[in-house]
Structure 1
Amino acid sequence: MVEPEEAGAPLAPARVLVFAAHPDDLDFGAAGTIARWAAAGSDVSYCIMTDGDAGGFDEAHRPDIVARRTAEQEEAARITGARGIHYFHERDGFLEPSYEVIGKTVELIRRIRPEIVLAMHPERAWDRIQKSHPDHLACGEAVTRAVYPAVENPYAYPELAAGGLPAYKLPYLWFYGAPRERENHYVDVTDLVDVKIAAIRVHASQHPDVTEMESRVKAMMQENARRGGLPEGSSAEAFHVVGINTPSTIAGF
């Protein structure tokens, strides 16, 4: 298991920016860790790239699905302690790591200047392909391309620097929903399982079977803890942590 100081896991990073493809993605992937940071004083912001307009299971929800999912995400953010949500309003199922999406990502990272960016993983997970919705992969790829080199390159997106958003060297990039073989850091969220489940439950438009959902999420967290070497009975969230600008990385392009 990667130790916190190696993995870039300060107990309370000053600012964290979390990216997701759809409303509810980040609650499944990281709500416990987010709640821990927020409780310790971190300023946590979310960015939801699509409106989630293709999600859900109830035909009666179609006319107001975007408003419904937005309200669900805002309530879930209140539960975890996140302080703000940004929306890109891309179309659900059509997200791509385009120049425009990367540019919006660069702009938001430079504006918030977080210590940690948390995003979906850009690699497909064959052990559980549901992790790897095409929008999830696109989210991860857009964030990865934004983080290096565009966010820290003063000559990339020069209009941002001209508008008062200079280049910024991000310390750490964390991924959730990673292929199992990429996971290198586990956060013990045993005392926050109820908070995580509460945040996920809020996304009622996405759960045809709430009982089964809760059972599966709890089982996966317990399996994460076992793989992370945590004590028996623990629950954990799993991440692939990458140092971008740390004492052990080489600065420059």
Structure 2
Amino acid sequence: MSIVDRMQRVLVIAPHPDDEILGVGGTMARLAAAGRDVEVAIVTRGAPPRFSAADVARVAAEAATAHALVGVRRTHWLDFPAAALDQVPHADLNAAIGALVADVAPDTLFVPFIGDVHLDHQLVFNAAMVAARPRDGNCPQRVLAYETLSETNWYAPGITPTFAPNVHIGIADQLETKLAAFAAFASQVQAFPAERSPEALRALAMLRGATVGHAAAEAFMLIREVG
């Protein structure tokens, strides 16, 4: 039985809208197509004056479209300030993510990578790991960190943690769905050779797939699995 077969109830925690599609979009589509329960938590939401009300509403609508495309059953918005999680008391962030994990009770938790250059990603990783502590039988059975183009690849080798994937999930049949979901975030899509471009996202999926003999894949670091 593959690791995908063992995933029945999944929660993807994203610091910002579109992180979940960039990192886990194909896997979410594969799981949803197989009848698994897939939920997404978006930790932050933009707010004036850094983000206009119109832009915030647009991104929320884009997320709804993207999530429908990959089969997300429920989206949770935690509404912490985007690009300002360092100003939020750690206890508040830990409590919110902890309550969500307890409510969803996932067997599988996908989290951003601790070495991502964006501080919001690092703080969300830490809070998610607090929530996932194996203190009782209700903790997630497995925790995996995903990679986010324009964040994970900008770590400082030898100084910050390195993303060294040890789990690859084939998404050849879901790659076009993932790209369509990313395209739904029209406000975030950039022209190649920008990293947040369809071409770069396709190239990464093909590279990750080629390393394990698949046409396309998403790569993860397995943080913990409890049997």
Q: 2:123: which partner in 1?
A: 138
The answer to whether 1:174 aligns with 2:144 is yes
Q: Residue 18 of structure 1 is aligned with which of 6, 12, 18?
A: 12
TM-score (norm 1): 0.76
* 2:133 alignment partner in structure 1: 148
Of 99, 102, 127 in structure 1, the residue corresponding to residue 94 of structure 2 is 102
Residue 225 (structure 1) aligns with: 209
Give 3-state SS (helix, strand or coil) of 2:138's partner.
Answer: coil
Report the secondary structure of 2:223's partner residue: strand
Identify the match of residue 114 of structure 2 among 122, 130, 136: 122
1:217-251 deviation line (CA, Å, top 9, x unaligned): 11111111223x214xx1110001122422xxxxx
Residues 12 and 42 in structure 1, CA contact (< 8 A), matched pair in contact too: no
CA distance in 2, matches of 1:37, 1:117: 13
Aligned to 1:202: 184
Specify the alignment match of 2:174 in structure 1.
192
Bigger Rg, structure 1 or 2: 1
Q: Taking structure 1 as reference, are residues 26 and 52 closer, same or farther at Cα in structure 2, changes over 3 Å only?
A: farther
1: CA distance, partners of 2:40 / 2:26: 14
The secondary structure found in structure 2 opposite 1:182 is: coil
2:79 paired with 1:89: yes
Contact 2:98 2:130 in 1 (8 A): no
**Structure 1 residues 10, 236: closer, same or farther in 2, change over 3 A?**
closer
Partner of residue 156, structure 1: none
Which one has a larger percent helix, Structure 1 or Structure 2?
1
* SS of residue matched to 2:85: coil
- Contact residue 76 and residue 199 of structure 1 kept, 8 A: yes
Q: Distance in 2 between matches of 1:238 and 1:204?
A: 24
Take 2:47 and 2:187, find their aligned partners in 1: how far apart are those partners? Answer: 11
Structure-2-length-normalised TM-score: 0.84
Report the secondary structure of 1:108's partner residue.
helix
Instruction: Give the superposition deviation at 1:12.
Output: 6.1
**How far apart are the structure 2 equivalents of 1:244 and 1:186?**
15
Unaligned runs of 5+ in 2: 153-160
| Cα distance, 1:209 vs structure 2 | 2.4
Shift of 1:51: 0.8
Cα deviation per residue 1:105-145 (whole Å; 9 max; x = unaligned)? 11111111111011101124xxxxxxx31111111111112
**Runs of 5+ in structure 1 lacking a partner?**
125-131, 154-166, 247-253
Give 1:208 deviation, angstroms.
3.9
The change in CA–CA distance for 1:184 and 1:109 in structure 2 (over 3 A counts) is same
2:200 maps to 216
